[in-house]
Amino acid sequence: MTVRILHIFGAMNRGGAEMRTVSLMPGMNKQNVQFDYCVLSGEKGVLDDEIRSLGGEIFYCKLGPLFILRFISLLLSRDFTAVHSHVAYVSGFILLLAKLSGIKGRIAHFRNTTASSSSSYLRSIRDKFLKFLIDVCATNILAVCDGAMLGFWGAHWQNENRCKVIYNGFEVVVRQIEPKFWCDFITNYSDQKIVVNVARMDVQKNHLRQCDIFNELHNRDPNTLMVFIGKENQERKSMMMEKIVEYNLEEKVFFLGLQTDVLRFLQHADVMLFPSVWEGLPGVIIEAASVGLPVVASDLPGVNEISNQLPFIKIVNLQESDSDWGAYLYQSLKQNIDPNIMINAFKQSDFLINSNIKQLHAIYTQ
């Protein structure tokens, strides 16, 4: 008998939570677990075709005046074993509707250490109410790391049996080096050191400061290039370009946009810069470690949990100066690090995809 799970997301684009969930589908299919998706934006995403190719259905159910009717109709028209919601505190509203529809399994999954950068009074009242709904309606409360659970649910979470931290899972990859890799993406590339960042252009990811930090590195070592990979925001990119022009780095910084095979870029970079303002369990840091790439990242709970198991992740407080960040990048570039040390540590870590599948499967079939 097939176990059918309905995942709730805003849109199925290349975000960390979305990609990690889709990556579980082949393994879950072998366990007779089907993943379907309800998209609250009502918009198509770049992962839609991949989801369908793996046997999943996508339901576009936009939040609005008719949402409650449409969503309950969807739940009643399919034999879902569980609703698995990934939309922070809004999951409380989703799980209330799932409970009213008779869905047995109702899962809230926290993916970040904070809901947003907003701290308004009205937002606080709304979140408290939605958290109450999660408390009343959820059969399981999951988080990607201890910091995410602490941030959303509080210090008492370890006393609740339904609360569980499940690390995202990743495949063990075979590291293949292509000597001329960067020549296809960077004009006149000539063996410069590559600093890479993989993230959508969002305030959370701190792109403007990355320009300042790279400038400090470039002052120390002009034989370096900065590569940005991820979905672009034109307003933020324009602000970045102003800094890049100010620093006279137009020929040193490259924007490669969305890429389907991020691991290839990580495999051929020399260090990753990751000064995010907040995160849950940043998967791209784990991916970097899985191919032996050192990382300089901000001091965040999820990053610290990763560094407890994976070496050569330099953690830097966001309060430190751009000059200090540049110095740490420079040190990482000058270290003679054996990538196999990182790769072997990853293979022995808790961040493997089979572990992720095993733990979720136990929850879906309890």
CATH for the 181-347 domain, from 3.40.50.2000, 3.40.50.720, 3.40.120.10, 3.90.650.10: 3.40.50.2000
Task: List residues bridging with 361 in a β-sheet.
Answer: none
- Architecture of the structural domain at 3-169+351-364: 3-Layer(aba) Sandwich (3.40)
pLDDT above 70: residue 116: no
Which of the four pLDDT bands, split at 50, 70 and 90, describes residue 26?
very high
- What is the domain partition of the chain in residue ranges? 3-169+351-364, 181-347
Pairwise CA distance, residues 344 & 339, whole Å? 9
Q: Could you read off the pLDDT of 60-81 as tens digits, one per residue?
A: 999 999 999 999 999 999 999 9
pTM: 0.88
> Which of 100, 90, 102 is CA-nearest to residue 38?
90
Q: Could you read off the pLDDT of 278-328 as tens digits, one per residue?
A: 999 999 999 999 999 999 999 999 999 999 999 999 999 999 999 999 999
Q: Could you read off the pLDDT of 213-239 as tens digits, one per residue?
A: 999 999 999 999 999 999 999 999 999
pLDDT above 70: residue 115: no
Ramachandran bin of 34, using left for φ above 0, alpha for ψ from -120 to 50, beta for the remaining angles: beta
Question: How far, CA to CA in Å, does 34 sit from each of 7, 38, 58, 257?
Answer: 10, 13, 12, 31
Fold agreement (3-169+351-364, 181-347)? yes
User: What is the number of other CB atoms lying within 10 angstroms of the CB of residue 347?
Assistant: 11
pLDDT value for 113: 82
Q: Could you read off the pLDDT of 186-223 as tens digits, one per residue?
A: 999 999 999 999 999 999 999 999 999 999 999 999 99
pLDDT value for 15: 87
Pairwise CA distance, residues 58 & 81, whole Å? 16
pLDDT above 70: residue 179: yes
